[in-house]
């Protein structure tokens, strides 16, 4: 995890955003007297939000039930070549 201060980020914002895009690393930005902030790609954020939504409430319960059902079945895998 890369940590950068807000004062170091400010003059290097374009380079920092390029690094996030090319490395897919989500840096933590720190500011004195404030909570830390994470900068991430929008597609990563969207995936995180979807996973969070799917894992909650009735959706999460149904997902866990179906995973348990699949784990309980004895499956034979065949090579399709």
pLDDT of residue 37: 96
Instruction: Give the model confidence (pLDDT) of 5-54 as tens digits.
Output: 999 999 999 999 999 999 878 999 999 999 999 999 999 999 999 988 88
Domain boundaries defined on the chain: 1-40, 41-74
DSSP E strand stretches across 8-60: 28-30, 37-38
pTM: 0.63
1-40: what fold? Answer: YefM-like fold (3.40.1620)
């Amino acid at each position: 995890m890369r940590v950068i201060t807000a004062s170091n980020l400010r003059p290097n914002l374009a380079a920092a955003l390029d690094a996030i895009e090319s490395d897919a690393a989500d840096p933590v930005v720190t500011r004195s007297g404030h909570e830390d902030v994470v900068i991430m790609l929008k597609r990563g954020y969207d995936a995180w939000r979807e996973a969070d939504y799917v894992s909650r409430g009735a959706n999460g319960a149904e997902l866990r039930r179906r995973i348990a059902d699949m784990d309980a079945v004895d499956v034979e895998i065949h090579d399709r070549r």
